[in-house]
């Protein structure tokens, strides 16, 4: 009986100790970094919000909401009316996407985490990038300035499905807060390939 009473009194202490040593199951993070579209010549940025939950010691499920913005130009400068004119053709490619991710923790402890994630994605994208362009100069047109002729064979707005693969590293400080690095690759049914490298910050719950 005395042992039973002693156990009842110490049980809350054992419980708190076990909870203290248990790793958090939830992770919320934001990330931002560089993103390369296509063969890498179209540069831009990516920003993401990710939420994941460990369902087993090294297995997690999560959602990621991301946005990408890429831009570029075809440079064209000429003189018209005794002044230099920037007649470059400028374009933008931007998208937003939602991905469901399954993660495997290669390393997972109180300070360090290395995780491989992958899963399907849904992407909406809008692009003003022409599929073909040509510059006709004054010698050919008789006009005092060059003329840009461009053509679109792809739709401006697209919806696609695809897949993403990512490698995460996180360092935890103050037992809850994380900073880290992220590298990833994705492809979709519209033939768009994206490579990313990002910095992240988050909190473990």
Alpha-carbon torsion 96, 185, 41, 155, what sign? negative
CB 101 within 8 A of CB 117: yes
Nearest to 120 by CA among 159, 59, 157, 165: 165
pLDDT at 69: 97
How far apart CA 174 and CA 111 sit, in angstroms, is 9
What's the CATH number for 33-204? 2.40.160.20
Contact 116, 182 (CB under 8 A): no
pLDDT digits (tens, 9 = 90+) for 10-55: 444 444 444 445 789 999 999 999 999 887 779 999 999 999 999 9
Q: Answer for the pair 102, 58: CB distance below 8 angstroms, yes or no.
A: no
For residues 169 and 201, the answer to whether their CB atoms sit within 8 Å is: no
Distance CA 23, CA 58 (A): 11
Q: What is this structure's pTM?
A: 0.83
pLDDT 10s digits, 101-116: 999 999 999 999 999 9
Going by the DSSP 8-state scheme, the letter that residue 23 receives in this structure is P
Q: What is the pLDDT of residues 56-98, one digit of tens each?
A: 989 999 999 999 999 999 999 998 888 999 999 999 999 999 9
Does the structure show a pLDDT above 80 at 162? yes
């Amino acid at each position: 009986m005395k042992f039973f009473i002693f156990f009842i009194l110490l049980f809350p202490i054992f419980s708190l100790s076990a909870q203290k040593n248990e790793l958090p199951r939830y992770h919320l993070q934001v990330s931002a970094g560089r993103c390369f579209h296509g063969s890498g010549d179209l540069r831009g940025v990516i920003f993401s919000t990710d939420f994941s939950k460990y369902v087993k010691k090294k297995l997690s499920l999560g959602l990621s909401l991301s946005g990408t913005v890429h831009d570029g130009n075809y440079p064209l400068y000429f003189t018209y009316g005794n002044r230099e004119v920037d007649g470059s053709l400028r374009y933008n490619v931007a998208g937003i996407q939602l991905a469901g991710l399954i993660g495997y923790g290669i390393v997972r402890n109180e300070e360090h985490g290395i995780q491989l994630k992958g899963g399907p994605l849904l992407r909406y994208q809008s692009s003003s990038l022409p599929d073909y362009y040509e510059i006709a100069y004054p010698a050919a047109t008789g006009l005092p300035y060059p003329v840009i002729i461009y053509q679109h064979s792809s739709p401006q707005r697209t919806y696609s499905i695809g897949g993403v693969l990512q490698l995460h590293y996180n360092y935890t400080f103050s037992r809850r807060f994380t900073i880290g690095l992220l590298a990833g690759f994705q492809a979709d049914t519209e033939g768009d390939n994206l490579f990313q490298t990002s910095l992240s910050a988050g909190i473990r719950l």
